[in-house]
Structure 1
Amino acid sequence: MEISFFSAILLVFVGLIAGGINTLAGGGSNLTLPVLMTLGMSPEIANATNRVGVALQSVAGALGFRANDKLPSEDIGPILLPTLVGGLAGAVAASFAPSWVLKPLLLGSMLTMALIILVRPSVVCPPAGTPSYRVAERPSSWWWLGIAGFYGGFVQAGVGFILLGALAGTLRYDLVRANALKLVCSLAFTVVALMVFVVRDQVLWLPGLILASGTIIGARLAVKFALVAKQQTLKWFLFVMTLCGCIAALTF
């Protein structure tokens, strides 16, 4: 696929914004997927190609949080296991599912998350001093992480909201650490999903890598912001991004 200079600049710019949004909340793929489709990709090819930027952005963001001691590493393995299993199942399902399934799934998840933030904000923003739990201490977290993984493997858009619900809601991490762990989970099932899409020959590497150059920069800038922002600021940013995700899902 040939990419014009204008298209390349557009991909980098949109990638930068999406990388920041995905690192702090979720829903950045609501921007990148429509742009990829305007370049002539089918929904299935855009969904697969988008994973290149998401994977590399997740690496950049996770390393940024780790360098500032905000990535809890002691429970990563147990967190990743159900996420990977769900991601593989979701990717296989997405590879064969009709494209019309994506919109209602995306919209439903966004509306649910927005309601949770409004009605029970403590679910995704635990009060200061709330102790966090390991997966072994909260067996119910396996189910939520597995569901998040399946959703992420099926359609990347909005998965950050689902992961934050699982990590902050069941394991009670604050939003900074939950976002750091979210990126590790996102990287894990995105790599699994990407492998499935590569085997199915659904990834266009040139636009994917151009997009990734922007998402990496966006992720690094977002980490710096997250380290100095207040929890309330991050919570309302998450809420606004959720509403934007709902709007994007309606026009997707």
Structure 2
Amino acid sequence: MDSLFQFDLTLAETLLFIIGGIATGIINTLAGSGSLITLPIFVFLCGLPAPVANGTNRVGVIFQTMVGVRGFRKMGITSFAGSAWLIVPSVVGAIVGSRIAVELDENWMNYTLGALMIFMFFVLLLKPERWIRESEADTRRNRHPLSVISFFLIGVYGGFIQAGVGIFLLAALVLVGNYSLKAGNGIKLFIVLVFSLPALAVFLWYGQVHLGYGLAMAVFQSIGAWLGVRFVARMPDANVWIYRLLLAIVAVSAIKFFF
């Protein structure tokens, strides 16, 4: 059990660990796919097996999203009314996905996910005004069967691998729920927080979480989330900047999944 709490990095590795954690918190708060930073850190820097890295990654995600949700709510950026219709199918999907993840190798998904990211890149390029508008969400859309099915499937994916789930959630919130990017980010974080809890429980049950690295990363991801929320609150053209970040992250994610 002691090995699950050890933190054995050199000074240079610790610096990379800290920078990666803060960057991940910012990216996950404003867009998504920050796990494309933390997963390689856990595998190549910390020496964790891929399944353990996948489970350990959920610790930082939970703490980071708690900070982000509190910030969005405190600053009045996001209303969480009607979000239960999106959360419940996401949680059910996450339990299914995490159960699959502890028994299955995720490598076969990489090409599929890369293709999805390329598709998402072109969706972002088409009619960019849909992404940068300031709009009021129509919470009645959250009850539509298309919304329920979409968020269940996103939950399955999030429970399985986590990396990139924020991108898909944000796209569904903007395109299906009519949320703005600013408001959608708050809902996205809330959904990720809720469905990450049962997913983490599954990984803990199967002994696929390194608590030492996970809790340490949680500290720095939380700092990044705090910075990200303040950027959204204080930047007048936040939707435009988030849109640009999304384009960049989706392009990088597509390359990462293929190569």
TM-score by length of 2: 0.90
Cα RMSD for the two superposed structures: 1.7
CA contact (8 A) 2:135 2:179 kept: no
The alpha-carbon deviation at position 228 of structure 1 amounts to 2.9
CA contact (8 A) 2:142 2:177 kept: no
The alpha-carbon deviation at position 129 of structure 1 amounts to 4.1
CA contact (8 A) 1:132 1:171 kept: yes
* Structure 2 CA distance for aligned equivalents of residues 221 and 134 of structure 1: 32
The alpha-carbon deviation at position 136 of structure 1 amounts to 5.1
The alpha-carbon deviation at position 242 of structure 1 amounts to 0.9
CA contact (8 A) 2:23 2:221 kept: yes
The alpha-carbon deviation at position 131 of structure 1 amounts to 4.9
- Size of the alignment, in residue pairs? 250
Farther-moved stretch of structure 1 (136-145 vs 61-70): 136-145
Does residue 41 (structure 1) correspond to residue 62 (structure 2)? The answer is no
**Among 106, 121, 124, the residue aligned to 2:113:** 106
* Structure 1 CA distance for aligned equivalents of residues 32 and 137 of structure 2: 24
What residue is the counterpart of 2:255 in the other structure? Answer: 247
What residue is the counterpart of 1:220 in the other structure? Answer: 226
**Among 229, 233, 238, the residue aligned to 2:241:** 233
Change (3 A) 1:117 1:105: same
Unaligned stretches of 5+ in structure 1?
Answer: none
What residue is the counterpart of 2:134 in the other structure? Answer: 128
Matches within 5 A, 1:120-159: 120-122=127-129, 125=131, 127-129=133-135, 131-135=137-141, 138-159=144-165
CA contact (8 A) 1:83 1:145 kept: yes
* Structure 2 CA distance for aligned equivalents of residues 164 and 83 of structure 1: 13
* Structure 2 CA distance for aligned equivalents of residues 174 and 36 of structure 1: 33
The alpha-carbon deviation at position 79 of structure 1 amounts to 1.6
Does residue 85 (structure 1) correspond to residue 105 (structure 2)? The answer is no
Does residue 12 (structure 1) correspond to residue 18 (structure 2)? The answer is yes
Identity %: 32
* Structure 2 CA distance for aligned equivalents of residues 49 and 102 of structure 1: 20
Farther-moved stretch of structure 1 (103-112 vs 232-241): 103-112
* Structure 2 CA distance for aligned equivalents of residues 51 and 97 of structure 1: 17
CA contact (8 A) 1:30 1:157 kept: yes
TM-score by length of 1: 0.93
Q: SS of 2:221's equivalent? A: helix
CA contact (8 A) 2:83 2:142 kept: no
